[in-house]
Structures are given as C-alpha cells and as structure tokens.
A and B are shown apart, each in its own frame.
Chain A
Amino acid sequence: MKKILSAVLVLMMLLASAACAESAIPGVEDGVLTVAMECAYAPYNWAQPDDSNGAVPIKDSAFYANGYDVMTAKAICEANGWQLEVMQLEWDSLIPAVISGQCDAVIAGQSMTSERMETVDFAGPYLYATIVCLVKQDSKFADAKGKSDLAGGRCTSQSGTIWYDSCLPQIKDAEILTPQESAPAMLMALESDTVDFVCTDMPTAQGALIVHPDWKILDFAGSGDDFEVSEEEVNIGISVNKGNTALVDAINSYLKDKTADDFNALMAEAIKIQPIE
C-alpha cells in the first residue's frame, strides 16, 4: 500500500514539474506577467482610484489600471494561466524597461514599426488602428475631405508616435510644431488654438469628442486621399525583450484566433467604461 502511495506521489510530482517546466518562459518563471503601460492614455490604458469595471491594481501604487490594454492583458494571462501585474511608466521609458527586464511585456498601444523591431520583438497585432485628424468645428479645415485639404495648417501630435513621425510630414506645407509629451497634452494644444488640427487614432479621438463636443473627427478612410501608412504602422502590438520568442509564441497563441471585429468590439467596451463625463 505504502509503495503504491509513494509511486502515485512521485507520478504526481513528475506531472506537476512537467507543467511547471512549460511555463519556464523568460520573464514568467514566477507565473506573473509584468506588463508596463502609461496608464494615461485613454481608452487604451488609464488610471482610476478604485477597482470598478474589473480594474487591475498598479504595482507600487494605490491606484488601479483599466482600459483596452488591461483587458487584453487579462485575457492573455487567463489563456496562459499567468497572473497579471501592471506597471506604470512614461511612454518613452516603456521600451528601455522591457529591454532592461524591469517588465516582461509592454501593452500600451504601440505600433509595430520597423525602428522599434530593431530593439524589441513584437507579439500581435492586438488591434488595427485607424488614423484620423481632430479639428475644431469652426476651423477652416473642418470640411477637409482628404489630407491635401489640410495643406498649410499648423499641427502637432504626440512624441514618439507614427502620427507625428510619418503622418504629419505627408501633409503638404504643414507647419509641424514640436511634439507633445502625451495624448492629453496634444489635445490641449488643439484646445488652446496653438494648432489647427492634431493627428491621432480613432479611439483617442472618440474619447476627446466626449469632453469637447464642439470638435470634429476627420476620417479620410476610403477617400483615396488618406494618410499613407504602411501596415506595420497601424498594427498595434505587444513588445517583449529581443530574443524572447517563447513569450511571443505564448501571447500569439491567444491572439491568433481573434479577428478585427473582436478587437473593435473590445475597444467599444473600453470606450464605454472610460471615466469621461
């Protein structure tokens, strides 16, 4: 009887250690996926003072994070049997953090550009972005039908984004001002009339409209005169440390069954619970 019991126990131990060996993915050895994001970029990720709507506590902080990125992270962790830990960092510090190992992955609405791919590996995409422009309704650019109608305007966008680096330069004779350090700062520039229009993506623009109902979204999709962006620039992906293919595969195993409609439905949910009045 004792021999059978110990044999069974050994078998259980072997099975358990086999299961543990499967999660020997660099970064998730402790079973916790540490994800970094700005927590200041609604509706992708924001911070709130309570855990309503399924918000996740932010590491080293008394606050909670929520948004499209947090919801995606929760789903990925559930699919892989990991625990989720969210870290808050500045936009420009996200990639240095994943390279130095302070976090395991970055889910922050980053596009999978080739410059970023030189320093990090990407899993995903987990969203397909659409580039739009925001103007005030009484602006002379309010009736623009294509990017050529925006010629000569003063504009800006967020620093370190494809909106600033590749979309704004496509506007003829545009007066491109210095980039703003965050999405809300960019919207402030438009609100204070420092610029005529800003370039951003649809979810951010929809959130902005709730606060500023007198603004207008200029969506040139399908007009033939849209911004020319490569596919890599509108694919929003998850950064991990270069060479960490095991983590990329684990994340992609969840994302590969998802379609653009799934992503848009989740984004609509995030916009609904965004704490804007």
Chain B
Amino acid sequence: MENHMFAQLFTDIASLWAKYHTMYLTGILNTLILAVVATLIGCVIGFICGILQTIPCGPKDNIVKRVLLKIIRIIIRIYVEVFRGTPMILQAVFIYYGMPYFFGVSFKDIWTVSIIVVSVNTGAYMAESVRGGIMSIDPGQFEGARAIGMNHLQTMLYIVLPQTLRNIMPQIGNNYIINVKDTSVMFIIGFNDFFAVHKMVSGAVFKYFPSAFLEMGGYLILTLVASFLLRKMEKRLAGKSNYELVNTDTLTMSAGTYSYPRDAASPFDETSKDYKGEKA
C-alpha cells in the first residue's frame, strides 16, 4: 500500500516536472537573483549602519556633534528594531500597498519593490551582526589607526571592516540562506519566485502535495549548494595555512593582531589538524 502511494507520488512529481519545468526553473532563477542581490545590498546597509553607530564621541566634543550622533544612533536603533520585529510578509504588504495609499509613491516594477523589501529587512539583521563584529575587534586596532593619523572613516574602511568581514562571514552566509527561503513570502505582492510557482501549478492541476514535495527538494538543493560555496569562500578568506604572523619579534608591533583560528578552538572541530590526524 505504501509502495503504491510513493509510486503515485513520484509519478505525479515526474508529470508535474515534465509539464511545468520551465515555470519551476524560472522561479528558482528569480529566487536566486533576489536572494543574492538583496543580501549584498543588505550587507552594504549593515556596514553603513555599523560605521555610523561606532563614530567615536566623547564628552569633550562639541554639543552639536554629540546631539547629531545621538539622533543618528536613535534612528538606526528604530530602524533595526522595527524591521527585525515585524514579519517580512507584512513589511512587503505595507510597502507595496501602504506607500501608494499614504504617500502617493507608486511602484512601477515588482522587482524594485521586492529587492527594497528584502534588502531593508536583511540590512536590519546585518546592522546588528556588524556591530557585534566591530565590537569583537581588538581595541588596539583602533588605537593603532588613530596613532598613524587615520580618521574614523579611513579606520573603518581600511582596517576594521575587512577584519569584521572575515569574522562575520558565517553570519552573512546564514542570512543569505535564510533569504533564499524567506523570499517565498514575496508571493503576497505577486513576485514570481519559486514558491509562487508552487501556488500557481497546484492551482491549475490541484496536485498540492506532489508540488510541495518537489519544491522542498528544490529549496534543499539551493541551500546545500549555497552552504558548500560559502564554506569554500571562508576557507579561501582564511588564507594559506603555511603562513604565520610573526609574533616573536618585539620590535614588530603586531600586538593586537589576531590570527583567525584555522586550527579552531577545540580539537574536535572538523577543520583542526588534530581531528584530521595531521601533525600540528
């Protein structure tokens, strides 16, 4: 009996694919493009928020600068809390239907709206990740940059953010994989992503479960490929393992620089040499 049901399921999936594969593949392409573009833009937004939030400001600076910075910090805080605290599906509805209604802004293009919604949402999460990443950088880096006369923007752009980027690479990967799946809520405003194709196909032929099964397989393949590529990128960012930072020469001021632990924290991490059985 069960064999018969599985056989029926796979026959249904095969017939769905045979008839609608162009629709499914177009949906996958749209999902991928939206996820990649929106994650990139979200990263940029996150980094900008990180730079703005960490502008150094003390009680000795003049009052205008202090007030301005306080306002900027409050605005960023509100942005992060609102866009992290509401579901993306409702953000999409609000931006697509509410903005024309309240502000008279009308959107000509569904891609523009979708990218805006997903980027702004991703940016809110990335802002917090970047803030955490910046906080994890040794203060010696900031002091050193100050000492050689860099201003805040230069410190951030050339010294701190590159290191932050490497630290939060796993989180960016996380956000990208989450976006691949969360773009499915964009069907609410009519964006033709992979999930919308499921609704259309099941609405035409009433084969809801086979279509859902196929879609789950599709999403799994997408995220597995993404995971694989991200790990490869992390390994590449870590650099060749036969170079080491010179820490023993006291005249070389490498204090505060931190070698990203390729050999990891515990011997049971799959990237550590102990685990692989190599000599340390």
Question: Which of A38, A96, A188 makes the CB contact (< 8 A) with B97?
Answer: A96
* Residue B100, interface by CB 8 Å: yes
Which residues of chain B are within 8 angstroms of A93 by Cβ–Cβ distance? 93, 97, 188-190
In this complex, how many residues of chain A approach chain B with their Cβ under 8 Å: the count is: 42
Question: Which of B19, B98, B110, B208 makes the CB contact (< 8 A) with A185?
Answer: B208
A97 CA / B189 CA spacing, docked (Å): 9
* Residue B15, interface by CB 8 Å: yes
A229 CA / B15 CA spacing, docked (Å): 39
Question: Which of B96, B109, B190 makes the CB contact (< 8 A) with A88?
Answer: B190
Question: Which of B23, B190, B200 makes the CB contact (< 8 A) with A60?
Answer: B190
Contact between B203 and A39 (Cβ–Cβ < 8 Å)? Answer: yes
A99 CA / B102 CA spacing, docked (Å): 12
Contact between B187 and A184 (Cβ–Cβ < 8 Å)? Answer: no
A88 CA / B199 CA spacing, docked (Å): 11
Question: Which of A61, A96, A187, A192 makes the CB contact (< 8 A) with B192?
Answer: A61
* Residue A276, interface by CB 8 Å: yes
Contact between B106 and A101 (Cβ–Cβ < 8 Å)? Answer: yes
Contact between B93 and A60 (Cβ–Cβ < 8 Å)? Answer: no
Q: Name the residue of chain B whose CB is nearest to the CB of A66.
A: B204
Contact between A49 and B22 (Cβ–Cβ < 8 Å)? Answer: yes
* Residue B202, interface by CB 8 Å: yes
Which residues of chain A are within 8 angstroms of B136 by Cβ–Cβ distance? none
Contact between A211 and B205 (Cβ–Cβ < 8 Å)? Answer: yes
Which residues of chain B are within 8 angstroms of A59 by Cβ–Cβ distance? 110
Contact between A38 and B203 (Cβ–Cβ < 8 Å)? Answer: yes
Interface residues on B, range: 20 to 34
Evaluate whether A88 and B208 lie within 8 angstroms (CB atoms) in the complex, with A62-B26, A93-B97, A101-B100 already known. Answer: no
Binding stretch for chain B, among A40-48, A144-152, A166-174, A230-238: A40-48
Which residues of chain A are within 8 angstroms of B209 by Cβ–Cβ distance? 188, 191-192
Evaluate whether A62 and B22 lie within 8 angstroms (CB atoms) in the complex, with A39-B200, A88-B200, A100-B97 already known. Answer: yes
Contact between B110 and A60 (Cβ–Cβ < 8 Å)? Answer: yes
A39 CA / B23 CA spacing, docked (Å): 13
A276 CA / B208 CA spacing, docked (Å): 13
Q: Name the residue of chain A whose CB is nearest to the CB of B191.
A: A60
CB distance from B260 to the nearest CB of A (A): 43
Which residues of chain B are within 8 angstroms of A46 by Cβ–Cβ distance? 200, 203-204
Contact between B207 and A47 (Cβ–Cβ < 8 Å)? Answer: no
* Residue A250, interface by CB 8 Å: no
Question: Which of B106, B111, B189, B203 makes the CB contact (< 8 A) with A89?
Answer: B189
| 10 A–B pairs (Cβ distance < 8 Å), ordered by A | A40-B199, A41-B203, A42-B204, A47-B201, A60-B192, A90-B188, A90-B189, A93-B93, A184-B208, A191-B208
B residues with a Cβ closer than 8 A to A are 15, 19-20, 22-23, 26, 93, 96-98, 100-101, 106, 109-111, 187-192, 196, 199-209
5 closest residue pairs by CB, A with B:
A40-B203, A47-B200, A46-B204, A184-B202, A188-B208
